[in-house]
Amino acid sequence: MLLRKVALVSLMGVALVASSTIATAQRQRSAQPDITLSQSVRPLRMQHRGRMGSGMMQMQMASEFDYLSQMIPHHQEAIDTAEIVLERSDRPEMKAFAQEIIEVQSAEIEQMRAWLDEWYPEQQSALSHTLMMRDLSQLQGDELDQAFLEDMIIHHHMAVMMSRMLIHHGLVEHEAVYPFAEQIATSQMNEIYQMQSWLHEWFGATGMMYRRGNMRSR
């Protein structure tokens, strides 16, 4: 019971970080003077993005089973969004990054499903998964790339937090899951650094910046 409360409090902390990042992005985007057709649907996209915090607060994790069963749809959302970027982005860096997300996280989903079938064949998850990212299917060019990076940073940070909580709260029940979760936390944190660098380089982003070992505002 204590572990469940601690995990929920930690995830609520992520939600507060997400809300701060979202608010910063909204202020930056609204300050731009040029209005395009794609910007006319921005209120709906921001409304969806505003639900990211509530979705994260709803996510609870109290067991290895919860971690695996929740990480699968979490990964699938990243894959689905990366496929849009792979098809529509104009930047080679973004296409290569999207392809890597698709390949790596597809393999991780396959592994997690195999573990669930082997270790928890009769267990059904009572937890619901709430989508965190915007629908990017109508975006293109810079607007697509910026929205993807903004959303994926928060999406990745949730995976990092879930993986670290699994390890540090003693929820690992099978030895193979420990290095698996460690790898997700490490690789996705490194990708957060890269995405923050691109946001700053390409779009002059000055919002929440993640650094090794901590987070700070710029």
Number of domains in the chain: 1
**Would you say residue 125 lies in a domain?**
yes
Residuewise pLDDT in 10s, the chain (218 residues): 444 444 443 454 444 444 444 344 434 443 333 323 233 234 334 444 444 544 444 457 899 999 999 999 999 999 999 999 999 999 999 999 999 999 999 999 999 999 999 999 999 987 778 889 999 999 999 999 999 999 999 999 999 999 999 999 999 999 999 999 999 999 999 999 999 999 999 999 876 554 444 443 33
Instruction: Quote the CA–CA distance of 111 and 72 in Å, as a whole number.
Output: 10
**Would you say residue 32 lies in a domain?**
no
**Would you say residue 34 lies in a domain?**
no
**Would you say residue 33 lies in a domain?**
no
Q: Specify the pTM.
A: 0.73
**Would you say residue 208 lies in a domain?**
yes
Could you tell me the CATH number of the domain that includes residue 57? 1.20.1260.10
**Residue 156: which domain range?**
2-25+41-217
**Would you say residue 197 lies in a domain?**
yes
Q: Which residues of 56-81 are buried (b: 16+ CB within 10 A; e: fewer)?
A: bbebebbbbbbbbbbbbbbbebbbeb
**Would you say residue 169 lies in a domain?**
yes
**Would you say residue 97 lies in a domain?**
yes
